[in-house]
């Protein structure tokens, strides 16, 4: 009996760790979505495409300009964020007064176009991107498993980024403005705060978060045009389960669902792509506002 349990543990523990690594990506991506939805009330369906762009920009920086992984971690989000500014100014900002559905359709269309352009240019099988020298050596021995250094770094980076975002929004003056602007934009503007610019920058920040996750993902996953669309649906489920717009909710749910998915891969792998949606259905029935959402 005890040995049996030990065996299950030996089998399960590494999966828990791997689940956390995947959860890190879910958390980072849903964080950006939550920020954008919380502040702009826009459901950013282009998020997956922006994640993919982050990875591709990192690849271009390396192969065309010779800029390596570490600078790319900063530069790629800036570039993709700048593209986000452009999109927000020229298109998305026109839709704030309309129903959510319009923003959703616009960003979904944008995602399809962006993916199509990249597919035309780079094909669908993807491009190689090696992890940085420092993190590529032999995997770290955790006692019960070997974990590549790079995966460890992903978890650390994702946690740090989540924490930083939370701090900015909850603890700084800028965050206070942002939160106030979502409650009552006209009043905040009356105090002399440039609300439209703040909204633009918030969108850019959300997009930059997606691109940051993209750069993190580049050495692990194949850098290909559809890498975002295979993640984004799961990430939307994460946001819905966590509670639309809740920062804490998206981070906790991101890691949590990564974990659940990881364990499903051991006990019933065929269901690993569906388990998250089953949870989503249950959560929506029990708590329509999500686990951390305010109804």
Partner 1 sequence: MMQDRRSLLKTAAAAALTPALSAVPGRARAQAANTLKIGVLNDQSGVYRDISGPTSVACVRQAIQDSGITARGVNVEVVFADHQNKADVGATIARQWLDRDGVDVIVDVPNSAVALAVNAVVREKNRAYFNSTGATTDLTGAQCSPNTVHWTYDTYMLARSTGGAMVKTGGDSWFFITADYAFGHALERDTTSFVQAAGGKVLGSVKHPLQSTDFSSFLLQAQQSRAKVIGLANAGTDTINSVKQAAEFGVTRRGTKIAVLLMFINDVHSLGLKAAQGLVCTESFYWDLNDRTRAFTSRVKGNLGGNMPAMSHAGCYASVLHYLKAVGDMGVAAAKASGADAVARMKAIPTDDDCFGAGQIRADGRKLHPAYLFEVKSPEESKGPWDYYKVLQTTSAAEAWRPLAEGKCSLIAS
Residues 6+ apart with CB under 8 A from 169: 35, 175, 178, 179, 247
Q: Which is nearer to partner 1, 244 or 265 (CB)?
A: 265
Return the range that interacts with partner 1 (CB under 8 A); candidates 15-23, 72-80, 94-102, 157-165.
Answer: 15-23
Angle formed by the axes of helices 149-171 and 2-40, nearest 10°: 40
Show the site string, 41-80: x = touches partner 1 by CB under 8 A, - = not. Answer: ----------------------------------------
Smallest distance, Å, CB 58 to partner 1? Answer: 15
The correct pick among 245, 262, 290, 293 for binding partner 1 (CB under 8 A) is: 262
The correct pick among 9, 94, 101, 146 for binding partner 1 (CB under 8 A) is: 146
DSSP output for 226-260: THHHHHHHHHHHHHHHH-TT-HHHHHHHHHHHHHH
How far is the CA of 196 from the CAs of 66, 103, 283, in angstroms? Answer: 36, 17, 35
Give the integer Cα–Cα distance in Å for 31 and 239: 8
Residues 6+ apart with CB under 8 A from 270: none
DSSP output for 52-117: HHHHHHHHHIIIII---HHHHHHHHHHHHHHHHHHHHHHTGGGGTTS-HHHHHHHHHHHHHHHHHH
Q: Which is nearer to partner 1, 177 or 221 (CB)?
A: 221
The correct pick among 14, 68, 132, 196 for binding partner 1 (CB under 8 A) is: 14
CB neighbours of residue 86 within 10 Å: 12
Q: Which is nearer to partner 1, 184 or 274 (CB)?
A: 274
Query: By CB under 8 A, what part of segment 187-246 binds partner 1?
Result: 219-222, 224, 226-227, 230-231
Q: Which is nearer to partner 1, 188 or 218 (CB)?
A: 218
Q: Which is nearer to partner 1, 125 or 191 (CB)?
A: 125
Give the integer Cα–Cα distance in Å for 234 and 26: 8
Return the range that interacts with partner 1 (CB under 8 A); candidates 33-41, 75-83, 109-117, 161-169.
Answer: 109-117
Smallest distance, Å, CB 120 to partner 1? Answer: 8
> By the criterion CB under 8 A, which residues form the site for partner 1?
10-11, 14-15, 18-19, 21-22, 109, 112, 116, 119-120, 123-128, 130-131, 138-139, 145-146, 148, 150-151, 219-222, 224, 226-227, 230-231, 262, 265-266, 269-270, 272-273
């Amino acid at each position: 009996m005890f040995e049996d349990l030990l065996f299950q543990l030996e089998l399960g523990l590494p999966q828990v760790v791997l689940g956390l690594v995947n959860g890190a990506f879910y958390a980072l991506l849903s964080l950006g979505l939550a920020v954008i939805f919380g502040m702009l009330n826009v459901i950013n369906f282009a998020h997956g495409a922006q994640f993919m762009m982050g990875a591709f920009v990192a690849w271009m920086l390396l192969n065309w300009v010779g800029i390596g992984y570490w600078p790319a971690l900063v530069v790629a989000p800036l570039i993709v964020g700048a593209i986000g500014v452009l999109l927000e100014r020229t298109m998305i900002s026109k839709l704030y007064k309309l129903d959510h559905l319009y923003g959703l359709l616009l960003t979904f269309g944008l995602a399809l176009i962006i993916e199509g352009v990249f597919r035309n240019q780079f094909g669908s099988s993807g491009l190689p991107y090696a992890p940085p020298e420092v993190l590529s050596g032999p995997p770290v021995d955790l006692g019960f498993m070997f974990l590549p250094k790079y995966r460890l770094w992903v978890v650390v980076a994702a946690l740090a980024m989540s924490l930083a975002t939370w701090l900015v929004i909850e603890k700084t003056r800028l965050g206070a403005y942002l939160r106030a602007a979502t409650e009552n934009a006209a009043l905040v503007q009356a105090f002399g705060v440039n609300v439209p610019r703040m909204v633009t920058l918030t969108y850019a920040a959300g997009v930059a978060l997606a691109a940051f996750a993209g750069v993190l993902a580049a050495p692990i996953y194949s850098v290909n045009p559809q890498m975002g669309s295979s993640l984004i649906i799961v990430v939307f489920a994460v946001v819905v389960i966590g509670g639309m717009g809740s920062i804490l909710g998206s981070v906790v749910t991101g890691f949590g669902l990564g974990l659940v998915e990881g364990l499903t891969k051991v006990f019933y792998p065929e269901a690993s792509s569906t388990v998250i949606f089953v949870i989503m259905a249950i959560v929506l029935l029990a708590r329509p506002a999500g686990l951390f959402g305010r109804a």
